[in-house]
Homo-oligomer: A and B are copies of this chain.
Amino acid sequence: MRDHSNRSAGRPTLEEVAARAGVGRGTVSRVVNGSAQVSPKARKLVQDAIEDLGYVPNRAARALVTQRTDSIALVVFESGERFFAEPFFGRIVQSVSSVLVARNLQMVLMIAQAPEERRQLEGYLTRQHVDGALLLSLHGDDPLPALLEERGVPTVRVGRPVHPEPVSFVDADNRGGARAAVSYLREQGRRCIATITGPMDMAPGVARYQGYRDVVGDGPAAAGDFGEISGAMAMEWLLTNYPQLDAVFAASDMMAAGALRVLRRAGRRVPEDVAVIGFDDSVIARHTDPPLTSVYQPVEQMGQETVRLLLAKLDGEEPVERETVMPTRLILRGSA
């Protein structure tokens, strides 16, 4: 970008590059797009001209003719509050970003909280605007994935749908992770293991609850919403109704943290009197007192895998829907 010896003040066009290199537009286009049908001599000429002029292809013009936008939407259906609080999202965003950057695709982040935003988003998610969409943190039986698929917008979601759906997804083994956590409690000799569940309109909530049930079958359960307050309230309820409990499996670290607070206030020692295990292995797990034993999920790998699935769809045009479930791992700390 040094020699701006062209009439227009703006950036140079392909045509100008061609003129400078003494070749036709087609040849420049071929070079830019890495076609093999160019002689070494012409290629060199063009590359020099591009270098001299500081040419950058115009995305809009390209998109107009190729019908591809080279951008991918990452859609998060989440209230502001949770989006702040959960490192999970940050990590997903980060890992998705790194893969997309490597492929020269731009990541358009869309956060849908309010209903109007949701509506606007639906109008936006078109092949006109994005080549594909990554859906994060869907609630209940959201019709959006189906709608997008119908519109021909390739879609992959993070997290298993509550009810089976013909859309690819990547998920952590929530059920297995919960099972491992609760089994561990049992192996430690805990007799009365309770659970604090997540919201039942979200797949992780359901799956973690099922994992718990796989092991205990009939233990006491209280419902939460993944948030801290709800964890505290659930814990209070559990203590009142099942004072004999000696272990708690919470479906999120936030709820576990809330439970920890209540337990301490009630004079129960953790882990001596009551063992506690959370889920997510988030930062706060390392900052509670005692540090929280928690179920780790490979968030970064999940993010990367999700993008890979989507890109495969875009490239291959293969309408194969796939399900990928990644293993979880119990991280032992002081609370259990």
Contacts and interface: CB of A to CB of B under 8 A. Distances in A.
Interface stretch (A24-32, A54-62, A166-174, A323-331): A54-62
Contact of A128 (B11, B64, B101, B257): B11
A97 B108 CA distance: 10
Given A108-B71, A109-B97, A257-B287, A127 B11 contact: yes
Interface in A143-167: none
A84 B91 contact: yes
A69 B59 CA distance: 9
Contacts of A288: 287, 289
A90 interface: yes
A215 interface: no
* Size band of the interface chain A makes with B: 35 or more
A184 interface: no
B60 A64 contact: yes
Contact of A117 (B56, B59, B101): B101
Interface string A286-301: 1111000000000000
Nearest to A109: B109
A87 interface: yes
B94 A111 contact: yes
A77 interface: no
A106 B124 CA distance: 10
A179 B127 CA distance: 52
Contacts of A11: 126-128
A113 to B, nearest CB: 8
Contact of A85 (B56, B61, B283): B283
B80 A84 contact: no
Contacts of A56: 123, 126, 128
Interface string A89-122: 1110110011001001011111101000100100
Contacts of A110: 97, 101, 106-107
Contacts of A120: 101, 104
B108 A108 contact: yes
B126 A111 contact: no
Interface in A242-273: 257
A79 B57 CA distance: 29
Nearest to A129: B59
Given A89-B90, A106-B110, A109-B109, 9 more contacts: A59-B129, A71-B108, A74-B109, A84-B283, A94-B111, A97-B109, A97-B111, A106-B108, A284-B287
Interface of A: 10-11, 56-61, 63-64, 67, 69, 71, 74, 80, 83-85, 87, 89-91, 93-94, 97-98, 101, 104, 106-111, 113, 117, 120, 123-124, 126-129, 228, 257, 283-284, 286-289
